[in-house]
Amino acid sequence: MSVLQDSPAWVSGLIIVLSVFSSILVVSIFSVQAKSECDISGVWNHSAKPAELLIDLNKSEITVYSHDNNK
């Protein structure tokens, strides 16, 4: 028999909660690390329109920098 089968039900639940929490924590840590290593901030051309987009990861914003159809 395994240890979990002999344990109270709350122990099994606690193990599941801790597993989920630790998975979320690991993903979050790698996401922050990936953001700092891959900075795409700046002015980018729109792929389908005559426009330029300003990407600012510090503010988590994408704004229209210029749009040739609106001149």
44: its two tokens: 């980018």
Express each pLDDT in 7-60 by its tens digit: 677 788 888 888 898 888 887 777 666 666 677 889 999 888 899 999 998 888
- What local confidence, expressed as pLDDT, does residue 6 receive? 64
- Sorted by where each begins, the domain ranges of the chain are 1-38, 39-71
Residue reference for tokens 């994408």: 62
Residue 62 pLDDT: 92
pTM beyond 0.85, yes or no: no
pLDDT band, very low/low/confident/very high, at 1 (cuts 50, 70, 90): very low
Residue 51 buriedness (CB in 10 A; 0-12 / 13-18 / 19+): middle
Q: Could you tell me if 41 and 58 are in contact, meaning their C-beta atoms sit under 8 angstroms apart? A: yes
Q: How wide is the angle at C-alpha 15 spanned by C-alphas 9 and 20, nearest 5°?
A: 130
